[in-house]
Amino acid sequence: MNDFTFFSPTKFVFGRGVCDSTGTELAALGFSHALVVYGEGSVVRTGTLGRVLASLDAAGVAHTELSGVRPNPEVGLVRTGIEQARGCGADVILGVGGGSVIDTAKAISVGVPYDGDVWDLFSGLATPTAEGKPPIACVLTIPAAGSEASASCVLSNDELELKRGLSSELHRPVVAIMDPKLTFTLPAYQTAAGVTDMIAHIMERYFSSVGPVSVTDGIACGLIRSLIKEAPRALANPTDYDARANIMWAGTLAHNDLAGLGRSATPGGRAGGWESHALEHELSAHDARITHGAGLAVIFPAWMRYVWQEHPERFLSFGRDVFGIEPVDAEADGVDVSPEEAVRDAVLATVDELQGFFVSLGMPRTLGELGVSSEQIPALLETLEKNKGPVFGEFRRLTMEDARAIYESAL
């Protein structure tokens, strides 16, 4: 186990009806004016936004609204939000929605005290500062990205066809309101994509360059097993509270760094090289209609098949602890197979099992199902290199030719 620093300051208010306590929670923290950030209509149609605003009114917390956040949030709306927050004197940025909304709130928050363009922070030209930055709070309605507790924020720039992440402890919300009942109305596809994203968050950390870390690995595999159990239940019965609650909490634990402690190459850093996320971000940067989790459902298995021989023991432990898959024993099982073939077969069976689970939820198997063709790969590689450099990754260092091979294998 490597050294680590773990910081998780968010207060979680979890349970039935807790979105009605949003105003009380913010007032108790001393906030007086919230910039309320939300998406393109579902929180309005379901009445969630109305409940949140009513709770703010009841607690005496003034509010200004910013609507229109889309999936794969774009920097243009963030710039608008920064000006709104400054103009109204907001002392807290409240995201009401899923990861895209919360990431927009995070970007607005770090952009408020910065004199230049907020995209500078995502381009590495400037560093976020705490002074003058309004804190972030959220009401989670779509469990997936884990933004309600993470230090991560991802933003797109349509003009540049780039999608970039920014990690900072300043991104962690001070309070997250989590009511599983708000997720009852989520479409099946969104639920499935969210679960896929959660599993990918855990796996990016699991497949780091660090060897076994028994406690952390147990947490990681246990979370994935729980998601594999609960996701079909939620899809079969969307109002199954326990299934929804377990999925929502798993999404938080998948991305608050708990599932990677001791696996980071540097103390305080995030475990893993996040290769599959890097490859997928190019898909949804070039086509915002591609849901992040759906892209990961295709890319992650393709990456696994391409790199497994680098550290087959990690794949064997993953297959055993998540799916109960072990290599056959030629002598004990009475089969004519070499040890190398037994390992290969077990690893590939593990990848097939994982991808089969994603597909069973309604996720795509190929890039073609997402409308991506071989002709688009050069453009994906061009922006991938701009974002990650000519070589990237940790589990196995990947060149642009490696990335090309992974994309092509996923078509």
Give the tens place of pLDDT for each residue, 220-267. Answer: 999 999 999 999 999 999 999 999 999 999 999 999 999 999 998 877
Determine the pLDDT at residue 133. 96
Separation CA 354–CA 283 (nearest Å): 21
Residue 334 has pLDDT above 80, yes or no: no
Residue 336 has pLDDT above 90, yes or no: no
Determine the pLDDT at residue 184. 96
Determine the pLDDT at residue 107. 97
Separation CA 39–CA 102 (nearest Å): 10
Instruction: Name the strands in the sheet holding 33-37, side by side, starting at the edge strand that comes first in the sequence.
Output: 11-14, 175-178, 136-140, 92-97, 33-37, 62-66
Q: What's CA 196's distance to the chain center, in Å?
A: 9
Q: Quick one: what percent of the chain has pLDDT higher than 70? A: 100
Average pLDDT over residues 388-394: 95
Residues of 96-127 as b/e, b for ≥16 C-beta within 10 angstroms? bbbbbbbbbbbbbbbbbebeebbbebbeeebe
Q: How confident is the model at residue 392 (pLDDT cuts 50, 70, 90)?
A: very high
Structure-block tokens of residue 354: 């994982």
Separation CA 267–CA 5 (nearest Å): 6
Average pLDDT over residues 90-103: 96
Separation CA 34–CA 55 (nearest Å): 12
Determine the pLDDT at residue 300. 98
Structure-block tokens of residue 346: 């077990």
Q: Where in the chain is the domain with CATH 1.20.1090.10?
A: 189-409
Mean pLDDT of all residues belonging to the chain: 95
Sequence-distant (6+) residues with CB within 8 A of 357 are 228
Separation CA 35–CA 84 (nearest Å): 8
Whole-model pTM: value is: 0.93
Determine the pLDDT at residue 89. 96
Q: Which CATH architecture has domain 189-409?
A: Up-down Bundle (1.20)
Determine the pLDDT at residue 3. 83
Give the tens place of pLDDT for each residue, 107-137. Answer: 999 999 999 999 999 999 999 999 999 999 9
Determine the pLDDT at residue 332. 72
Determine the pLDDT at residue 6. 85
Determine the pLDDT at residue 329. 82
Determine the pLDDT at residue 279. 97
Q: Quick one: what percent of the chain has pLDDT higher than 90? A: 89
Contact 39, 68 (CB under 8 A): yes
Rounded to 5°, the CA angle 386-100-360 comes to: 95
Q: So what CATH class is 11-183?
A: alpha beta
Q: What SS3 string covers the chain?
A: CCCCCCCCCCEEEECCCHHHHHHHHHHHCCCCEEEEECCCCHHHHCCHHHHHHHHHHHHCCEEEEECCCCCCCEHHHHHHHHHHHHHHCCCEEEEEECHHHHHHHHHHHHHCCCCCCCHHHHCCCCCCCCCCCCCEEEEECCCCCCCCCCCEEEEEECCCCEEEEEECHHHCCCEEEECHHHHCCCCHHHHHHHHHHHHHHHHHHHCCCCCCCHHHHHHHHHHHHHHHHHHHHHHHCCCCHHHHHHHHHHHHHHHCCHHHCCCCCCCCCCCCCCHHHHHHHHHHHHCCCCCHHHHHHHHHHHHHHHHHHHCHHHHHHHHHHHHCCCCCCHHHHCCCCCHHHHHHHHHHHHHHHHHHHHHHCCCCCCHHHHCCCHHHHHHHHHHHHHHHCCEECCCCCEEHHHHHHHHHHCC
Rounded to 5°, the CA angle 149-152-154 comes to: 125
Give the tens place of pLDDT for each residue, 152-175. Answer: 999 999 999 888 999 999 999 999
Separation CA 268–CA 264 (nearest Å): 8
Give the tens place of pLDDT for each residue, 268-327. Answer: 778 999 999 999 999 988 888 999 999 999 999 999 999 999 999 999 999 999 999 999
Average pLDDT over residues 203-213: 93
Q: Where in the chain is the domain with CATH 3.40.50.1970?
A: 11-183
Determine the pLDDT at residue 267. 74
Structure-block tokens of residue 207: 């497949």
